[in-house]
Amino acid sequence: MIEAEGLTKIFFDPKRGGEFRAVEEISFTCRPGRIFGLLGPNGAGKTTTLRILATSLVPTAGRAAIDGIDVVKDPAAARARLGFCTGATGIYERLTPREMIRYFGRLYGSPEDAVERRVEELLDLFALRPYADTFCGRLSAGNRQKVSLARTIVHDPPVLVFDEPTTSLDVLVARTVTEFVADCRARGRTVILSTHIMSEVEKLCDDVAILHRGRILLHGPVAEVKERAGVSSIEDLFFSLVREA
């Protein structure tokens, strides 16, 4: 469960003429077993929103909670319940997949034998066993992404945050990721996903929020918002909204 209420983030950026409101007064809720899509063009505030949820950024105003835990008041506990993955998050090239997963397992504070069990489990889940002891730097792009996903769920988090997870991936690798995201829903996890790819929303998401210039223009279940607006695709909806705004 993710709850966001009136989230606002103001940056100070002299190049944008002083104060810059990256997100303003946004509220939404993501429920377990559903995928929530945050759709918006570049610079809409998607990454800022997700970084606030992941406790990397502190909101200027508003509150957000992961499974009921306030991200500002108890960031460590919130982080423990959260898996975070972006298209840009990397892996340690000089560690092997086994070492990489083990390192993060330990960072999340799991007991030693539980970590070892989890490492083996994930190596099998992502079919990484043949490469378990090869440096990550020598793996194919697909396998690297798998290591990254394994890292994301090493602590079996109930909430998952994906920030443009398929950006800059080739189609085959992107497929691995979208399948993984869908699988997370099947396992009853709460998933929030940001993207600027309309088809991804259409294919994956149960709920959607359209973000533009830091504000949510519209949100609700995908089928419902399409019906309300009388459009056949999310793409049409998006452009009509953005044109109005």
**Closer by beta carbon to other proteins, 165 or else 208:** 165
Binding to other proteins by residue 186, rule CB under 8 A?
no
Single-letter amino acid, residue 7 = L
Query: CA-to-CA distance for 62 and 185, rounded, in angstroms?
Result: 27
x/- string (CB under 8 A) for other proteins, residues 5-44?
Answer: ------xx-x---x--------------------------
Is 121 exposed, middle or buried (CB count within 10 Å of its CB: 0-12, 13-18, 19+)? middle
- Does position 135 bind other proteins by CB under 8 A? yes
Q: Give the shortest CB-117-to-other proteins separation in angstroms.
A: 18
What H or E segment, with its residue span, contains residue 159? strand 159-163
Q: Which stretch binds other proteins (CB under 8 A): 105-113, 176-184, 206-214, 215-223?
A: 105-113
Q: Does residue 189 interact with other proteins by CB under 8 A?
A: no
Per-residue binding letters, 58-77, with other proteins (x by CB under 8 A): x-----------------xx
Of the residues 56, 134, 176, 178, which one makes contact with other proteins according to CB under 8 A: 56
Rounded to a whole number of angstroms, the minimum distance from the CB of residue 72 to other proteins is 13
Sheet containing strand 190-195, edge to edge, reads 82-86, 159-163, 190-195, 35-39, 207-212, 215-221
The Cα–Cα gap between 100 and 98 comes to 5
Please name the helix (run of DSSP H) or strand (run of DSSP E) that holds residue 136, with its range, or none: none
Q: Does 86 bind other proteins (CB under 8 A)?
A: yes
Per residue, the 3-state secondary structure of 31-81, as one string, reads CCCCEEEEECCCCCCHHHHHHHHCCCCCCCEEEEEECCEECCCCHHHHHHC
Q: What is the total count of residues that contact other proteins (CB under 8 A)?
A: 34
DSSP annotation of 196: S
Which of 31, 34, 70, 108 contacts other proteins by CB under 8 A? 108
Nearer to other proteins, 89 or 240 (CB): 89
Q: How many other CB atoms are found less than 10 A from the CB of residue 174? A: 19
The span from the CA of 184 to the CA of 121, in Å, is 16
The region of 35-43, 53-61, 124-132, 138-146 touching other proteins under the rule CB under 8 A is 53-61
Query: Which of 46, 79, 98, 219 is close enough to bind other proteins by CB under 8 A?
Result: 79
- The residue written with tokens 């497929």 in the block is 175
Q: Which of residues 143-172 bind other proteins (CB under 8 A)?
A: 148, 151
**Could you list the residues that contact other proteins (CB under 8 A)?**
11-12, 14, 18, 51, 54-58, 76-77, 79-80, 82, 84, 86, 88-95, 103-104, 106-109, 135, 148, 151
